[in-house]
Chains A and B, each alone.
Chain A
Amino acid sequence: MARIKEVETVTSVAGAAKNAGEDILQLVSFKIGEEEFGVDILKVQEINRLVEITRVPRSPDFVEGVINLRGKVIPIIDLRKRFMMEARESDKDTRIVVVYIKGQVMGMIVDGVSEVLRLPKDTIEPPPDIATSVDSEYIQGVAMLEDRLLIFLDLSRVFSEKERIALSQM
């Protein structure tokens, strides 16, 4: 039930996003460890609780496997592993953020989803030199919120071609 609620929130906000001015960006924000990340809400299809994942042989280690999403088989990646962060047991807050990217539906495991944010586009700055725990390759920009830093992820890089090519040649 909680899932459905969350989905509803996201989609209704996504609808509003279309009406919003072009200089407002809507993000779904989630946490991995102490850091907060955001992805474009229009790329997010739904947010689910963790379900049973079937592991897939000979895939990169950050690919957790595949899940059954209402009759569709979709790949799941673990963002912690993707960003080379320390592994952690899943808990009640762990979520799968299902995104739609390059014509494909994929899921990513995050520690917990925080909220939907509306940000003026100009608050997003290019990736800074200061060290974040994430390779700047995956970062589209950062935004300073009142008390914290939000990392705006470049999803197409997170699910980058490089691994896909590596995969197919394995």
Chain B
Amino acid sequence: MADDFALDEMQAIVDEFMVEADELMSQLDADLVTIEKTPDDLELLNRIFRSAHTIKGTSGFLGFTNLSSLTHHMEDVLNRLRKSELTLSADLMDVLLESVDILKEMLADIANEGHEVDRDLTDILAKLESVQGEAEPPSQDKHEDKPDSPKAVSSKTKKKIPEETTEPLSDDNAKVTAPSQPQEKKTDEVRKKEFLERRKADKTIRVDVQRLDSLMDMVGELVLGRNALVQLERKIGARWEGEDEIEKLNQASTQVSFITTELQMAVMQLRMLPVGNVFNKFPRVVRDLARDQGKKIDLKLIGEDTELDKTVIEEIGDPLVHLIRNSCDHGIETPDVRKELGKPENGTIELTAAQEGSNIVITISDDGRGIDVDRVAEKAIEKGLATTDEIAAMSDRDIMRFIFNPGFSTAAVVTDVSGRGVGMDVVRTNIEKLNGTIDIESEKNQGTKMTIKLPLTLAIIQGLLVKSGDDIFVIPLSAVSETVKLNPDAVSFVNKKEVIRLRDTVLPVLNLREILFTEPSYDEQETSYVVVVGFAEKRLGLIVDELLGQEEVVIKSMGDYLGNTPGIAGATIMGDGRIRLIVDVGGLFKLVSSLM
């Protein structure tokens, strides 16, 4: 079969198959977990069956015999589930999920090695047999051409005469009483054709991420060029005001500016993926954890369609897994405890995503035992992170933030405190790296809610240009809540710290230069400004000499050598070719706490 194809053509098909299989696998994972809760959903069961069937068919003609054999066995089980010859038990589900795991490993092998790696499937195949055996109704014959060895599948089915050219199973209205396994009778030739047609019918194309990245880079450069053009146009316009050509130049530059913005949006859109890509793996995680710990947990996913930049999607997975695990492990109580507390036996974890302006907000909330603020406070004092007086002056929310301290992440402390905190500092660091913030709300015995706010993209930000001494910095606008003119008389001292009154609140203020360069504070000029920045619920006023305006900037890394500079997120090249440093607001807060 493979002989008909040129080698590279074959490789292209294998690549396509890998992509398709990947999608099917994550779909299978999610679907299997769902079906366990709604065993009567025949639509869903059919879809699961089709996923397994599709992989079986394609892997058969590609010569991945082990893959084909395993999916074939899964298909047997699924088919009998479909016909209600088997009932869905947790044990059966365990075996199916295990099969999916093994399938994933096998696919990973193919992806890595370029061919199927020999693998002992006896164990899992036996398990798949035995779950069928237990519930086997006497009247039903066993699958007639079940392979006796993994290697036998494709050669056996190949001999059959093709009797169908369409694939009945791809029809969404497939009846519950599916035709008596017509799929078994298709030849590899037909399957190959099906596979190719299925891929062709796709309205999407797959593009190497690298190409998208270089497109993104070029657009970044274009944005710089646009900025330069606009600046130049302004200067020339001021000098030759009223000239005809200036009017035209103005129009042209406005046009270029507009198109650049559009193009930038379009390219960014290309890199957007629905957050569901990450969310999809959580039903499985929750299901496995709940089963391990004898808990009952419902996971609700909301807003899976919300789109995020690919890089953000890639980075956000681990922190989310961590938070979800925490909710399962330490948040949700066992059914007995929940009953005693008068809560429903089933705990609920809700995972939501929504877009808010140029941010995406992800929340993870559970109705578990919540965080014991008093214990956190105790531990914070014990660890020397705060004094009793300081704690007394803090809000509950501030106190809870201590769980994000590295010192809090040792397991012993954590279980004492209510369980949370294992690696919470890592979670926070990861989110901050993405220019995001994380926030906690929790009420004892009511539950905990984590709110993560992330930028839609990492590459381009809106920045506020400020002048501080001789230096010009860019402060990400997302962190700026407002700017106010500084009235030097309004600065007072609380605990030797400079503060100003801002409406009803007292705001600590510090000179930006002092924070970054540790240069001694000097008398603020009459014309100084305060840029109010926020990080989680913390706020700080940065004193700067001048506000120079707002600009869209492309973040560039400063490389390994200077990349870890505290308080600096990166650099950007302005329209005039000069480099300006971008302030890392989260990092500033860290520097400030070390200064105070």
Q: Interface residues, chain A, CB within 8 Å of chain B?
A: 52, 54-59, 63, 66-68, 71-75, 104-106, 159, 164, 167-168, 170
| Alpha-carbon distance A168/B562, docked complex (angstroms) | 8
Q: Is the interface of B mostly helix, strand, loop or mixed?
A: mixed
User: Smallest CB–CB gap between B296 and chain A, Å?
Assistant: 45
Contact of A57 among B568, B573, B578 (CB under 8 A): B568
Q: Are A75 and B558 touching (Cβ within 8 A)?
A: yes
Which residues of chain B (484-529) have a CB below 8 Å from chain A? 516-518
- Contact between chains at B571 and A54 (CB < 8 Å): yes
Q: How far is A140 from B235 in the complex, measured between Cα atoms in Å?
A: 52
CA distance A75 to B571 in the complex (A): 11
**Residues on B with beta carbons closer than 8 Å to the beta carbon of A68:** 573, 577-579
Q: Is B197 an interface residue (CB 8 A)?
A: no
**Contact call A73/B556, Cβ cutoff below 8 A:** yes
B387 close to chain A: CB less than 8 A: no
A167 touches B559 (CB 8 A): no
Chain B nearest Cβ from A57, distance in angstroms = 4
Q: How long is the Cα–Cα vector from A61 to B169 in the complex, in angstroms?
A: 70
The number of chain B residues touching the other chain, given as a range, is 20 to 34
CB closest chain-A residue, reference B580: A54
The yes or no answer to B15 lying at the interface (CB within 8 A) is: no
Of residues 126 through 181 on chain B, the ones whose CB sits less than 8 Å from some CB of chain A are none
Given pairs A73-B558, A73-B559, 15 additional interface contacts (CB within 8 A) = A54-B581, A56-B558, A57-B516, A57-B517, A57-B565, A57-B581, A58-B566, A58-B568, A58-B591, A59-B565, A63-B562, A67-B579, A72-B556, A75-B559, A106-B559
Residues of B within 8 A of A (CB): 221, 224, 471, 516-518, 556-562, 564-568, 571, 573, 577-581, 591
Q: Supply 23 A–B pairs (Cβ within 8 Å), ascending by A.
A: A54-B471, A54-B581, A56-B562, A56-B565, A56-B568, A57-B565, A57-B568, A57-B581, A58-B518, A58-B565, A58-B568, A66-B562, A67-B579, A68-B579, A71-B224, A72-B556, A73-B559, A73-B573, A104-B560, A105-B559, A159-B561, A167-B564, A168-B564
Docked pose: A50 CA to B335 CA in angstroms: 71
Most chain B CB within a 10 A radius of its CB, from A52, A54, A164: A54
Q: Smallest CB–CB gap between B213 and chain A, Å?
A: 15
Bound Cα distance from A158 to B517, whole angstroms: 24
Contacts A66-B571, A73-B556, A73-B558 given: A170-B581 contact, CB under 8 Å?
Answer: no
Query: In the complex, what's the smallest C-beta–C-beta distance from A74 to chain B, in angstroms?
Result: 7
A66 to chain B, nearest CB (A): 5
Complex: A105 Cα to B566 Cα, angstroms: 21
Do the beta carbons of A164 and B559 come within 8 Å of each other?
no
Which of A52, A57, A63, A72 is B567 in contact with, Cβ under 8 Å?
A57
A residues near B559, Cβ cutoff 8 Å: 73-75, 104-106
Whether B558 and A66, one on each chain, are in contact in the complex, defined by CB atoms closer than 8 angstroms, is yes
Question: Nearest residue in A to B564 (C-beta to C-beta)?
Answer: A168
Top 9 closest pairs, chain A to chain B, by CB: A168-B564, A57-B516, A54-B579, A73-B571, A75-B561, A75-B562, A73-B556, A57-B517, A68-B579
CB B588 to nearest CB in A, in angstroms, measures: 10
How far in angstroms is the closest Cβ of chain A from B29? 38
Instruction: Using A66-B571, A68-B573 as known contacts, say yes or no to A164 and B565 having CB atoms under 8 A apart.
Output: no
B residues in contact with A72, CB < 8 Å: 556
Give B215 Cβ to nearest chain A Cβ, in Å.
16
* Bound CA span A67–B577, Å: 9
**Contacts A73-B559, A74-B559, A104-B559: A54 and B565 contacting too (C-beta < 8 A)?**
no
Question: What's the least CB distance linking A110 to chain B, in Å?
Answer: 18
Whether B561 pairs with A106 at a CB distance below 8 angstroms is yes
Q: Roughly how many angstroms separate A67 CA and B565 CA in the complex, as a whole number?
A: 16
- Report the bound CA distance from A54 to B578 in whole Å: 8
